[in-house]
Amino acid sequence: MINNRELSWLTFNERVLQEAQDKSVPLMQRLRFLGIFSNNQDEFIKVRIANIVRLSQIKGKKIPLFTGNYTAKELLPLINSQVSEGQKKFVQTYTDVLSEMESHGIFVINEKQLNKKQKQFCHEYFTSIVSPLLVPLIIRKSTQMPFLRDNNIYHAVKMSSGSNNADSRYAIIQIPVTSSCPRFVVLPSANNRNEIIFLDDIIRFCLDEIFFMFNYKKISAYTFKLMRDAQLTIDDDISKSLVEKMETGLQNRLHGQPVRLIYDREMPEDLLSMIASKLRLKGRGELDAGGRYHLMRDLMKFPKIRPDLESSSPEPLQHPDIKPFSSILKVIGRKDILLNYPYHTFNHFIDFLREAAIDPKVESIYITLYRTAERSKVINALINAAKNGKTVVVLMELLARFDEEQNVEYSEILQKEGVKVIHGVAGLKVHSKLVLIQRKNKDYVYIGTGNFNETTAQIYGDFGLFTSNPQIAADAVTVFDFLINTHKHFLCKQLMVSPYYMRNQFVTLIKKEIKNAQSGKRAYIFAKLNSLTDEEMIRLLYKASQAGVEIRLIVRGSCCLQPQVKKLSDNIRVISIVDRYLEHARMAIFYNGGDEKVYIMSADWMTRNLDRRVEVGVPVLDKKIKETLKDFFDIQWADNEKARDLTVFGRNEYVPKGENLPCRSQTALYDFYKGMIDTK
């Protein structure tokens, strides 16, 4: 019994929506969770639904099956139905949150609700800020539709001279959301009110100023957004560099096939028909009637006008073994160090690179990069190291979905500064989080579960392990040698590396638990993952359950394994935690006959991670860190505030408190790590 990956992912995003519905969550954070939900749905449509649509159109070939044994044609209506249902819940939740905001004096108003002072403000704001950015496009039945970009919102404008549509004029305006022209504008308001207006409505208010040269009796504007297929296709022209191919591929993605038009349900039928036909969107499944506003991911950037209604995150902690203005390399030379973001500060990692950049004994730095911050301190530290005469080698993975353009740009910047940039192994995406610093007489390694990104490290839960263990360092040298020289065969003594060895190593560990359980010995597997979708791993876990192995899984996103099925998965329980921070860390614990083995890794138990990506996992050898990770898992497993029980597929029921004390694991973990400092 294997659940469908796509339907499972949609139930995960409904857990995000539950956070927006949870009245214990600070009000403005609930609004931001709505933005996260909307952004997730948009990416799902552009990536997963677009892929299923493509596969549903295949003729004359073997029909590919999705998890759960669905064909693309069978799966598509199920997904569309669940997406539509999620959108209805979103609209209702948004309405509820707006109502609660009004009870706190925060009002989102439209152009028809402006007072005299606000009307003047909007005219001035439009003239000085908005108007210079507008490019109105007149559309006619006889002309081709101008190119409309993905990830933008537009007004479809209708100018009517009478009741006959034949006399109407039509236009499209891109709503120009930028850092200097934000989606939400704070209006001058009375002291006891905070009033905000969508940029969309300021443009609606000033339509006459845009189209003053036309004669019409009525003018109206209706928002829509277009979603294009986000597949990135790289051509096979051997005369081009990978960067050149990526740049071409990114341009092609901008012109990807339209897959869905989401429009204001109040849009007149003649206007909708013209836009849909010009975009060649004729099936009703490709047209999605919505509300007045779209691209609601912008809710994540809603103005912070009431700090008392926002979530407050405590300051990240210093690791008790790392002192300010002291050598991190010396500490790592003596003992392994585990960081758990965002509870620990990511500055420790930045300082690790900065120290290496100026240390006279450091000879080289090797690092894999996947997603970095927009103004990256990591990139700056690597450039500084190169300027100080170090050999710096960066494996820059260009195929990081929706971050490809930035990665291409950083590749070019690094190369100009003397950094050697390589782009990995043909046919394999490099998703590992690995750093090797080679210093005279000793090497230092960092293995992580999350990206080298100081921005996301403030909101993503991840692990990072510093070590100078000689065997692990030798393995890191081997991995980078493979990445640089693409040797097909290599062996590691400690590190788990996919796609060649990680799957088999996990399979061996699970089979050992099965053997021990069958012999009447204690056996358990505890794992925390972002996704569990690989069918081979799922079937093996079912076999382990049937043998009597106790299995506890914490899976944030897609989970194709169905727990608590009689005679199949009786001994498997699965929970999912969705809270203030994005649960992104991956770890696995095996009882191993009493000699427990604990791993952290960059890989989920997904086919792509185990078979088609370069991933790195590391065994935790330090006894204290091993105990820390076991305590971490126990704290998360005890969560009865934000954990959902995945026993009933799609239900997303909260784990019952019973007689247990309340436990919100993200709060408890901060206290846990703070206690380590207080007792040091």
> Which of 166, 164, 184, 167 lies closest to 175 in space, CA to CA?
184
Active-site annotation, residues: 431
What distances in angstroms separate CA 285 from CA 38, 46, 79, one per listed residue?
Answer: 19, 14, 11
| Rounded Cα distance, 567 and 477, in Å | 46
Instruction: Show the DSSP H helices in 22-59 as ranges.
Output: 27-44, 50-56
Task: Report the greatest alpha carbon distance in the chain.
Answer: 87
CB under 8 Å to 484, separation ≥6 — which residues?
393, 395, 422
Both structure tokens of 462: 């991840």
322 C-beta neighbours (distance < 10 Å), count: 20
Note whether 666 and 580 are within 8 A (CB): yes
Burial of 493 (0-12, 13-18, 19+ CB in 10 A): exposed
Note whether 354 and 424 are within 8 A (CB): no
3 state SS of 504: helix
Region of residue 447 (left: phi > 0; alpha: psi -120 to 50; beta: else): beta
Residue 673 CA to its chain's centroid (Å): 26
> Which of 348, 355, 342, 526 lies closest to 450 in space, CA to CA?
342
Both structure tokens of 640: 């009865």
Measure the CA dihedral 510/515/518/521, to 10°: -90
3 state SS of 123: helix
CB under 8 Å to 483, separation ≥6 — which residues?
368, 395, 422, 424, 425, 430, 614
CB under 8 Å to 403, separation ≥6 — which residues?
370, 371
Amino acid at 257: Q
| Rounded Cα distance, 273 and 472, in Å | 62
What distances in angstroms separate CA 627 from CA 28, 43, 361, 510, 547, one per listed residue?
Answer: 37, 38, 34, 21, 27
> Which of 183, 187, 202, 220 lies closest to 131 in space, CA to CA?
202
Residue 162 CA to its chain's centroid (Å): 49
